[in-house]
Each structure stands twice: as C-alpha cells, then as structure tokens.
Structure 1
Amino acid sequence: MRKSFYATLVASTITATIWSVLANAEPTYIQKMNGLPAVCSIEDAYQQTEVDAAAKKYGEGKPGWSKAFQARLDAVRTCLDSARDKGKAFYRDEIAKHPDLKPQLSDMYVAWLAHLDHFIDDEQDDYERAYEKSANRLQAEIDAR
C-alpha cells in the first residue's frame, strides 16, 4: 500500500512539474489558496495509511495505534499551521494588489480559515463547500472586470 502511495505521489509531482513548466504562468490567488490545503490532504492521506497499518498490526485503540493516530493529528496540524501562515501572506499580498476587491477577498479568506479549522472533522464538507462558494464569488467579481 505504501509503495502505491509513493508511486502516485511521484507521478503527481512529475505531472505537476511538467504542467507548470508548460503553463509557465504565475498561479492565481485562488489557485494558491486551493493548493495549500491540497498539500495537507496528501499528508493526511499518507498519515491515515500509517494509522490503518497500525490498526492491523496492533489493533485499534492499542498503544501502537494511538501513537500512529496522534502522529497523524500532529502532522496534519503542523501542515495546517504552515498553510495558515502562507495563506495569510498571500491574502495580504492580494489585498495590496487589489484593494478594491477587499470585501470579496476577506469573505473568501474567512471561509478558507474556517475550512482549515474543520479540515479533519465530520463537518469538513460543509466548510469546504462554503469556501468554494466564496472563491466562486471572488472569481465572478474578477471576471466581471
């Protein structure tokens, strides 16, 4: 299972690298903001495979499983903290470039932060949809220019 995850990750990285070279364009603000939690999703998926392996090896709820589960939470939390820091910088840069879009940028940023706050809980889908809706509103405002 681990090898297939790494193979998929390597293939995705190579594809992304090739595409970025071909596209040769700076990602948009929305693309940057979407990419930050996507990285954490990859980390979460990897860590979940470790938790699943520990459940098979030790049994769910046993000390070995608990250690893997806590490692997953810590890794995802660290990734999300890093994403918040980077997202904050992207947000500030975008407001400096487009002060006229501040209300829409703020709306999207608030929804994005809420999405990160609920990244691994049962209500994740609701917050992700709210974020996507705010990103679509921002894109509509940009497209209307």
Structure 2
Amino acid sequence: MRRYLFAITLSALCSQAALAESTFVERINGSAAQCSIIGSGNATEAFIAQRDYGPTSKKYKALLEKAYKESQECVDAEKPKMKPYLRDEIAKYPQLKPAITQAYAAWLGYMDWLSSPRDWSDESPEKTNYESAINRLKAEIDTM
C-alpha cells in the first residue's frame, strides 16, 4: 500500500516537474531512483513472504523471482534511454566531457548493482561512487 501511495505522490511531483526540461543529472538520478524503488519494493514483499510463510514456501520463491526479474528489467530498460541524453549533454557542454562521462560510468555501475533487488537502505561502493561522481559533475556545472 505504501508503495502505491509513494508512486502516486512521485508521479504527481514528476508531472509538475515535467513542465520544465529535465537536466542530465536529474534524468540519471530519476532512473536510478526508479529502479531502486522497484527493487526495494519487491525485495520487501519477498522478505515479508519469507517471514510469514518461510524460506521454502512457493509464495516467497515466486516473489523473490519476481523481484529479481523486475529489477533486471528496469535496469535493462533504463540504460539505453540515457545514451541520447549523454550525447546531447556532451554536445552542449564539451568542456565537461570528462565529468559527464565519469558520472555516466558511475551510473552504469550503480545500475548494474541495482539489477538485483536490494533493501532501500543498502549501501555499496557503487552507490557511493555514483553519488560522488554526480557531486563532482554538479560542482563542475556550478563553476561554469
């Protein structure tokens, strides 16, 4: 239930933000957040089923399989969507190419990590590297 409420709230916020053109950083942050929400929501559902029905139950196994499948599908769908935005951003700001490509590479690594369902609070070197690269890119943009 909370997942659906969150999705409705997120879509309402995004519909207002859609009036303005999203930046490259907003787009990659949004795609990572989307896959993180899908993966963590499904992982939570599987965890609850494991707690309620046991680790050998059909319900738990089905939900765990669904969690892995949907996490991978989200990542596979989002990765190709970002390539045109990457090219556009580099064309717009060629002087930022190193920072943009570093942020994109860190995003790819983080997305690979998100291809397996995770708890929403899980931390990883991939996530830390991604956040650091995004902060460096924002700093480069701010100094222009």
Structure 2 residue aligned with 1:14: 12
Question: What is the alpha-carbon distance in structure 1 between the residues aligned to residue 10 and residue 129 of structure 2?
Answer: 27
Structure 2 residue aligned with 1:32: 27
Q: TM-score, normalised by structure 1?
A: 0.82
Decide which moves more: 41-50 or 108-117: 41-50
> Higher Cα Rg: structure 1 or 2?
1
Structure 2 residue aligned with 1:137: 136
Decide which moves more: 107-116 or 58-67: 58-67
Q: Letter of the aligned partner of 2:5 in structure 1? A: A
Equivalent residue runs for 1:56-135 within 5 Å:
56-119=51-114, 120=116, 124-135=123-134
Decide which moves more: 6-15 or 121-130: 121-130
Decide which moves more: 6-15 or 103-112: 6-15
Question: What is the alpha-carbon distance in structure 2 between the residues aligned to residue 35 and residue 48 of structure 1?
Answer: 20
Question: What is the alpha-carbon distance in structure 1 between the residues aligned to residue 96 and residue 6 of structure 2?
Answer: 38
Query: Contact 1:80/1:116 (CA < 8 Å) preserved in 2?
Result: yes
Cα deviation for residue 80 of structure 1 reads 0.7
Per-residue CA deviation, residues 106-137 of structure 1 (Å, 9 max, x unaligned), is 11111111111112469853211111111111
For residue 95 of structure 1, give the secondary structure of its aligned residue in structure 2: helix
Aligned-residue Cα RMSD (Å) equals 2.2
Q: Letter of the aligned partner of 2:125 in structure 1? A: D
Cα deviation for residue 35 of structure 1 reads 0.3
Per-residue CA deviation, residues 19-73 of structure 1 (Å, 9 max, x unaligned), is x26xx42121111110001111221233124313432453223333112101100
Question: What is the alpha-carbon distance in structure 2 between the residues aligned to residue 68 and residue 75 of structure 1?
Answer: 10
Give unpaired runs (5+ residues) of structure 1: none
Higher RCO (CA-CA < 8 Å; seq separation 6+): 2
Q: TM-score, normalised by structure 2?
A: 0.83
For residue 25 of structure 1, give the secondary structure of its aligned residue in structure 2: coil
For residue 4 of structure 2, give the secondary structure of its aligned residue in structure 1: helix
Aligned residues: 140
